[in-house]
């Protein structure tokens, strides 16, 4: 009985992970593009990307999710709830990831660009080979935080009927009249997932840390 109960929730894990694995990289690609445009682009690109970030971060994720969902599963494009929800979460996350990466890009001293240009690199080469490798290292800890937020926010797609962990917990709670057990199990699973994501990224940060004399 209990094992049936748990295994039903467990089946949602792979969907939660799948949603996160779509949303997080989508947000990264979009966020990185926005951060680069905002840092190195012309005046208008800067303004547009800043406005995008302001709007996206100024509205609750769940409200944005509904808006984006109805766009992505409408007449123009028609994605399944899973894809529409995951992509929407990615778009929402892109604004936060943009800010993280923008901060990291700005923290690299201007001298690095000057030195790269001085040996004949183009701006693009300098960004690719000199600025980004340093900025991405710096971005790992705040990005780890955003990764766990996206993982937790993946639960929002339950509202679209995607059978991930929270959706299943809710169904069980209703049918078994055991809300504490159902949502408790869901909470525990999220906690363990978040824990391992943060741990994994900690390891990555340590592995890529640059040696210094005083370390």
Partner 1 sequence: MDSPILQAKNLTKIYGQNVIFQDISLDVYRGETIVIIGPSGTGKSTLLRCMNLLTPIDSGKIFLNGKEITARDANEDKVRQQIGMVFQNFLLFNHLTAFDNVMIGLSKVKKMPKAQAREKALYELNRVGLSDRADHYPGQLSGGQLQRVGIARALAMDPSVMLFDEPTSALDPELIGEVLGVMETLSREHMTMLVVTHEMGFAREVANRIVFMEKGSIVEQGAPDDLFYRPQHERTREFLWKITELYGKKEEKS
57 contacts partner 1 (rule: CB under 8 A)? no
Residues 6+ apart with CB under 8 A from 99: 35, 53, 57
> How far, in Å, CA of 86 to CA of 72, rounded?
11
- Closer Cβ to partner 1, 63 or 114, answer by number: 114
Report the nearest approach of partner 1 to the CB of residue 34 (Å).
23
Under DSSP, the state recorded for 177 is S
Residues 6+ apart with CB under 8 A from 51: none
- Closer Cβ to partner 1, 47 or 209, answer by number: 209
- Closer Cβ to partner 1, 57 or 117, answer by number: 117
- Closer Cβ to partner 1, 58 or 110, answer by number: 110
Task: Give the torsion sign (CA, 81, 82, 85, 88).
Answer: negative
Report the nearest approach of partner 1 to the CB of residue 143 (Å).
17
Report the nearest approach of partner 1 to the CB of residue 120 (Å).
3
The residue count for the chain: 215
CB 49 within 8 A of CB 37: yes
> How far, in Å, CA of 101 to CA of 138, rounded?
9
Site string for partner 1, 91-130 (x = CB under 8 A): --------------------xx-xxxxxxxxx--x---xx
Report the nearest approach of partner 1 to the CB of residue 112 (Å).
7
Q: The tokens of 21 are what?
A: 């694995």
Report the nearest approach of partner 1 to the CB of residue 144 (Å).
19
Q: What are phi and psi of 195, to 5 degrees?
A: -55, -50
Site for partner 1 in 154-213 (CB under 8 A): 210-213
Among 133, 161, 184, 200, binds partner 1 (CB under 8 A): 133
- Closer Cβ to partner 1, 46 or 137, answer by number: 137
> How far, in Å, CA of 46 to CA of 36, rounded?
9
Residues near partner 1 (CB under 8 A): 111-112, 114-122, 125, 129-130, 133-134, 137, 210-213, 215
């Amino acid at each position: 009985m209990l094992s049936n109960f748990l295994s039903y929730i467990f089946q949602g894990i792979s969907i939660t992970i799948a949603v996160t694995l779509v949303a997080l990289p989508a947000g990264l690609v979009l966020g990185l593009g926005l951060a680069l445009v905002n840092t190195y682009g012309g005046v208008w690109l800067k303004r547009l990307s800043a406005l995008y970030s302001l709007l996206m971060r100024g509205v609750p994720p769940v409200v944005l999710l509904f808006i984006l969902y109805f766009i992505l599963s409408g007449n123009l494009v028609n994605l399944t709830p899973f894809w529409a929800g995951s992509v929407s979460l990615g778009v929402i996350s892109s604004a936060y990831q943009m800010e993280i990466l923008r901060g990291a890009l700005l923290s690299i001293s201007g001298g690095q660009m000057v030195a790269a240009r001085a040996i004949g690199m183009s701006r693009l080469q300098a960004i690719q080979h000199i600025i980004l490798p340093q900025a991405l290292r710096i971005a790992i800890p705040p990005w780890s935080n955003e990764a766990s937020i996206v993982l937790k926010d993946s639960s929002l797609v339950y509202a679209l009927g995607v059978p991930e962990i929270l959706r299943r917990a809710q169904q069980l709670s209703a049918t078994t009249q055991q809300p504490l057990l159902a949502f408790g199990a869901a909470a525990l699973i999220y906690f363990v997932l978040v824990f391992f994501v943060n741990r994994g990224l900690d390891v990555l940060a340590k592995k890529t840390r640059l040696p210094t004399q005083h370390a």
